[in-house]
Amino acid sequence: MNIPQARCYVEVSRSIIAANYRAVRDAVASEGARVIAVVKADAYGHGSIEVSKALVEQGAEWLAVSSVEEGVALRRAGIPSRILVMAGIMPWECGALAEFNLTPVIHSLEELRLLNERCAGIQVHLKIDTGMNRLGALAEASEIIAALHAAPRVQVEGLMSHFASAADFTSEQTDAQIAAFHQMESSLTRLGFAAPIRHFASTNAVAYPRRDAWMSMVRTGHAIYGYVSPARGHAPHAILRVRPALSWRTRIVLVKEVPAGSRIGYGGAFVAPSRMRIAVLSAGYADGIPHRLSNRGKVIAGGRFAPIVGPVSMDLTTIDITASPEMKPGDVVTILGREGDVSLDAQQIARTAGTISYNVLCGISARVKRFYID
């Protein structure tokens, strides 16, 4: 299938992905840090294989995914970079780690013992919990040292942690997390262990620069796709210049004129205040349009904003195109992206839908065809 036939599709620009990657790489190079490009969750909906290929072309040495399964998919597609598996491994996945040369992040000292038994020779990154209280080992430096000695067949190549609130400058949490990391690092060093690689920062801690957290590498996802979350409080200016790489479009299946007083869609909550021209779009919440955009979101039709009227349904969404009477079945409408001077990005959609841009991007469902442009 090509774009002229697709009912609902995204276009991902390889050159924008590449430019965003270079923007991150150049920003952190000043501090001697390198980039781990995060391509988990199918590259935040952009397509992990195509995105990884574009990143490898830019010289990306490290990629990160969530699961062993995601890492295996990249290896099967011929991706040669180091691949960090960040969201935990299952006891039965040890074989695949070795077979596909994946580097797991481990989150407990128990896991270190398990890998020492089952996966001799493997390199791992140890994540420490510096206060987010999700993944990461909560242990004393002395306990970590004892576990390292008890696991001589595992090489701890990296020491890492993850921020809970890096864009929130009303919170002390980021400073506290950085202090906890440095304290753990110096205790470990004093006890004779220094990890060759240390990493902590994701997009927000790069964009609103926390240079003391850039360390050897930064792990950025959102920025690679062209986004930086809005900051809270007195944040420094964002230093990254990145642009959204993905546009999301659908087609009109039907256009109709409805008289004043017509109720549109399930529930009948939207009542046409006057005669209206309605277009029915070939996309709904099963494609990832947030249901919360019902009666409050908008799309771009004919180069103008067109409000969503009535509920977003599973496969269809109704919009008001009274201002664009030239639109007809088969015409393309932009859910996320740009037409001329008018644009809508995942951040704006998220704000209207009461969610976050990550959720909008990852929510674009598998049935939406992905196309790649230069």
By CB under 6 A, residue 219 contacts ligand PLP: yes
Q: Which of 34, 162, 198, 251 binds ligand PLP (CB under 6 A)?
A: 162
> For residues 142 and 136, is the Cβ–Cβ distance under 8 A?
no
- In sequence order, the 6+-apart residues with CB closer than 8 A to the CB of 155 are 121, 122, 123, 124
Among 9, 40, 44, 298, the active-site one is 40
Q: Which residues in 69-108 contact ligand PLP (CB under 6 A)?
A: 86
CA distance 14 to 248: 15
CB 69 within 8 Å of CB 61: no
User: Does residue 38 bind ligand PLP (CB under 6 A)?
Assistant: yes
Stretch that binds ligand PLP, among 112-120, 216-224, 266-274, 326-334 (CB under 6 A): 216-224
| Residue of 52, 130, 203, 247 that binds ligand PLP (CB under 6 A) | 203
CB of 242 to ligand PLP, least distance (A): 11
Q: Sign of torsion, CA 8 12 13 19? A: positive
Q: Is 46 in the site for ligand PLP (CB under 6 A)?
A: no
Q: Which stretch binds ligand PLP (CB under 6 A): 218-226, 250-258, 302-310, 349-357?
A: 218-226
Structure tokens at 172: 């002390």
Q: Please, which residues have CB within 8 angstroms of residue 100's CB and are 6 or more apart in sequence?
A: 68, 71, 72, 75, 83
63 binds ligand PLP (CB under 6 A): no
Neighbours of 190 (CB within 10 A): 11
Q: Which CB atom, from 164 or from 255, has the smaller least distance to ligand PLP?
A: 164
Task: Identify whether 256 is a catalytic site residue.
Answer: no
CA-CA distance, 34 to 13, in Å (whole number)? 23
Among 130, 174, 177, 202, indicate the residue that binds ligand PLP (CB under 6 A): 202
Active site residue 266: yes
Residue from 47, 136, 221, 363 in contact with ligand PLP (CB under 6 A): 221
With binding defined as CB under 6 A, does residue 244 bind ligand PLP?
no
Residue 222 touching ligand PLP (CB under 6 A): yes
Minimum distance from residue 27 beta carbon to ligand PLP (Å): 13
CB of 326 to ligand PLP, least distance (A): 39
* Contacts to ligand PLP by CB under 6 A: 38, 40, 86, 162, 202-203, 219-223
For the annotated catalytic residues, the residue numbers are: 40, 266
